[in-house]
Chains A and B, each alone.
Chain A
Amino acid sequence: MKKLHILAAGVLAGCLALTACGQSGSPGATGPVVSETAAADVTVAGSPTFDAMKARGGVVIGVKDDQPGLGFKDATTGQYSGFDIEIARLVAAKLGYGADKITYKTVPSAAREDAISRGEVDYYVGTYTINDKRKTLVSFAGPYFVAGQSLLVRADETAITGKDTLKGKKVCSVTGSTPIQRVRDQGLTDQIVEFQTYTQCVDQLLSNQVDAVTTDDAILKGYAAQQPDKLKVVGDTFSTEPYGIGLNKDDAALRGKINDILQAAYDDGTWQKIYDETLGKSGSPASPPALQRY
């Protein structure tokens, strides 16, 4: 028993000693795509959220940090990158806050509505699908992108070509997520596997434990782009997921303002530039969606 303790202490000391040396930087550094300068003298009349930003002297944006190509935090540099992040950055700039005034906050999916409504984040940009149920709790600017559910399979997979070929196959997605609920409701397969993150699902896919990973194509393309020799996205999308910017339910003024910002970015090509530099790298083109103002 005593030996075990000494061993344990040694291991811990080793862990700590390890931190004394190491390399910095990133294996794949990515800077901001569009460097917008912060707009001056912005006013949004009647927006409590905007007033809060002003009082704080900065903006807090809710994001995801584990989705390559969309909202991703590089652990080696602490930098955020991806399509969602660029959109968030653009909106912040047009509201008068440069990159140095932005605080990113990772919010658990199940807590998005709460984080927004209790003002923990000023707005939320992170593969947040607009739907009527959510509109009763928060409001949405946008959509700024329209994704659709698709399938990620191993590169050598031939049997799975679309949602109707899933019968008897093991399909993985994040626990309780809309895509997996859809698979369950439509009875596409009875072999459903659920993990906490898409990365874990992809790991299961690569170790032959599941046959396909399903969620929005935008997310899947991010993984396929990382390991193109091992993974591919197949089949047509079988849902429509309009991504919106989540806002406080009662803040119509800020919603209007952000919609204006998005529209301007659609019109002057900024949106296209952002897309081409992030998700567009996967090879599939896209054009700006139509805003749904309400």
Chain B
Amino acid sequence: MNVLFDNLSLYANGFLGTIELFLVSAIGSLILGVLLAGARVSPVPILRSFGTIYVNTIRNTPLTLVLFFFAFAYPRLEIADISFFWRACIGLILYTAAFVCEVVRSGINTVPVGQAEASRALGFTFGQTMSEVVLPQAIRSVVPPLTNVQIALLKNTTIAAGFSVLEAGGIYANLSERGYNVFVGLLWVALGFLILVLPLTLLQRNLDRRWSTSR
């Protein structure tokens, strides 16, 4: 217990950092992921191939390396000075978006073909077909796997601790230097994550149940 109470501010700041990182990256990755999915099914060949190459490359790269390049290679490009927090966010967004894209794309495939045919018959353009007809229906089937991706993102934020972002993954290093029992300290971190994951899991189960009956 002492490990937690003696270092309460460390834990509070750590998990606050985790939550901030998660919220920003979750929203960012959802937006970028949907755009990428759109690109992968779009009528423009260049967009399709760009989407495919992007997804295949990113999905096959360890997240640590993605974050590494943003921390160490990016400054050498001398474009704009972005804080480490935002660079970690960008890394997480780019990485997670590839997974979101694949989930959304498979969701698009669950929408009956007739829906798209009907909207085309009504004269809708590709953008209208996607945003007005297909995506709203696809969302229903993608919410459960999308939650999984976001849970993975939440846990992946721990990797950012190695790249100058104060968050829960870095707590153990602080404790070790202060001479506390690292193992007990990490059990509290694990518990913290279980608590953070819980609402996401419940949300997933809830939506899963509601929509599997209406299918």
Interface residue ranges, A against B (CB under 8 Å): 1, 4, 109-114, 131-134, 136-137, 172, 174-178, 181, 192-196, 200, 203-204, 207-209
Contacts and interface: CB of A to CB of B under 8 A. Distances in A.
A110 B170 contact: no
A175 B177 CA distance: 10
B56 A181 contact: no
Interface string B156-170: 000001111010001
B164 A195 contact: yes
Contacts of B180: 133
Contact of A181 (B53, B72, B171, B174): B174
B178 A195 contact: no
Nearest to B183: A114
Interface string B194-212: 0000000000000000000
Interface centre among B71, B173, B178 (most CB of A within 10 A): B173
Contacts of B172: 110, 176
Chain B's interface size range is: 20 to 34
A194 B75 contact: no
Contact of B179 (A136, A176, A208): A136
B176 interface: yes
Given A1-B56, A175-B170, A181-B174, A131 B179 contact: yes
A193 B176 contact: no
B182 interface: yes
Query: 10 tightest CB-CB pairs across the interface, nearest first?
Result: A133-B179, A176-B173, A176-B174, A110-B176, A193-B164, A178-B177, A196-B162, A175-B173, A207-B75, A209-B75
Contact of B161 (A4, A175, A177, A192): A175
B84 interface: yes
A269 B141 CA distance: 76
A209 B166 CA distance: 17
A133 B178 contact: yes
Given A1-B56, A4-B56, A207-B75, A175 B176 contact: no
A111 B172 CA distance: 10
Contacts of A109: 173, 176-177
B215 interface: no
Interface string B21-61: 00000000000000000000000000000001100100000
A181 B177 contact: yes
B179 A203 contact: no
A110 B176 CA distance: 5
Contacts of A192: 166
Nearest to A176: B173
B177 A195 contact: no
Nearest to B165: A194
Interface centre among B52, B53, B56, B164 (most CB of A within 10 A): B164
Nearest to A172: B164
A177 B177 contact: yes
Interface string B75-86: 110000000100
B179 A134 contact: yes
A113 B175 CA distance: 12
Nearest to A193: B164
A176 B56 contact: no
Contacts of B84: 193
Contact of B177 (A1, A172, A176): A176
Given A110-B182, A207-B75, A208-B75, A176 B164 contact: no
B182 A195 contact: no
19 contacts: A1-B52, A110-B182, A114-B182, A131-B179, A133-B178, A133-B179, A175-B162, A175-B170, A176-B171, A176-B174, A178-B177, A193-B84, A193-B164, A194-B164, A200-B71, A200-B72, A204-B71, A207-B72, A208-B75
